[in-house]
Amino acid sequence: MTILPSFFLVQIAKAPLPRLLIEALSLIEVETAIGRASMVRLSFDLSRNVMGDYDAAALPIFRPNTPLTIRLALGLPVPFALVNAYVTETRLLAGNDPGRSILEVVAADALGTLMGQRRAPKTWPNCPDSVVATAILASYGIIPDVLPTPPQRTTLDTTTTQRSSDSVYLSQLAHRNGFDLFVAPEPFSGLDMGHFRLPLSQPVPQGVLSIDFGRQTNLRSFNAFNDMQRPVAMQGFTSEPKTRLPLPYIAPAATEMPMGMEPNLLRILPPPVDRISATDAASPQEAQSSALARATASSRSVSCQGEVDGIKFARALRCGQTVLVRGAGRENSGLYYVDSVTHRISRDDYAQSFTGWRNAVGLTGAEIFIDPFAAIA
């Protein structure tokens, strides 16, 4: 068992939060997710000062786009960065009774703030989607974690013009390639990294979550759902830009590794078949890529939600990585991909609510339910 203390650190404009606000801080909520901006909400209990004003609200430090960083130390000598955000909103919830007035500060990461504030048109001639994503992320000082993509659009097919904001355009590129898009800080340096890559790019599980497992239980609740009608294969035709001849595309199965014994798409007999829209692709290569991405996404029909005892798990669950779940029965135990986590931090508790998915059911037999970083009760 670690003898190092656990604590949190809130930084505003790269400096520690003033002591007056730290003493008034009652709750920190951090929501991280795939495909959308991460959000932060700070709740401060307010009281009146000698001037009759609210004490915590009297400090004018929460200004638009002010950087806000949340760090956690769970038995580690160095607190790791949980999220980097920028102030977007403040809310005063006033009451007549003492201790009932609250100040809430809301912040969002770069994907939900800075990257949504530019709408100047840009052209990207002969640029693969990965090159575009790298250029956009780097322009904000974000370290790109980008999986290379093949060139699919050339000036002979079409001229690619970006008319939306950078965050919206990156989301469109990610959807077209079946990629994850999210911004998260590197834990120790705290520098933001922009992830534009396939799910399951990091197959090593980040830990083991256990439900109804004696002393090793670290899940307070766990629910699994199987939408058996969601998986669908893709088949259809697209036209060659020059000759207008019809060319087939086909995606009979998911392209990512199965996370269980039975892949979800292969369990449906006969398999349902769908097609992409006529406006979804500018070239045959892009049509095939879109079909594979759609079939792969549809196979992720097993979803889950649960609540983690953060003290027992002794670390923050991270989006964009896998986690092993045990104790949920043979069909629903196994590898899950985490796509959202909500952290609730108070002075006497730390809980994490998460959602995830998997593209198969059952255990493969290759799972190793050993967590080397688990805290010893």
Q: What is the pLDDT along the chain (377 residues), one digit of tens a residue?
A: 445 667 889 999 999 998 888 888 999 999 999 999 999 999 998 888 767 677 777 778 899 999 999 998 876 777 889 999 999 999 988 888 766 888 999 999 999 999 998 888 888 888 889 999 999 999 999 999 999 988 876 666 667 888 899 999 999 999 888 899 999 999 889 999 999 999 988 778 999 999 999 888 999 999 999 999 999 999 888 877 677 788 888 888 888 999 999 999 999 888 888 888 755 566 788 888 888 888 999 999 999 999 999 888 888 899 999 999 999 999 999 999 999 999 999 888 888 999 999 999 999 988 888 887 664 44
Helix (H) or strand (E) holding 308: strand 302-309
CATH code given to domain 208-226+301-361: 2.40.30.150
SS3 10: strand
Q: Tell me which residue of 141, 147, 115 sits closest to 129, measured CA to CA.
A: 147
**CATH among 3.55.50, 3.30.70, 3.30.2320, 1.10.8 for 117-197:** 3.55.50
Q: What is the DSSP letter of 113?
A: T
Q: Hey, where are the domains in the chain?
A: 6-108, 117-197, 208-226+301-361, 233-297
Pairing of strands 161-162, 208-210: unpaired
Model confidence, pTM: 0.88
Q: Tell me which residue of 34, 363, 367, 360 sits closest to 226, measured CA to CA.
A: 360
My answer on whether omega of the bond before 270 falls inside 30° of 0, hence cis, is yes
CATH code given to domain 6-108: 2.30.300.10
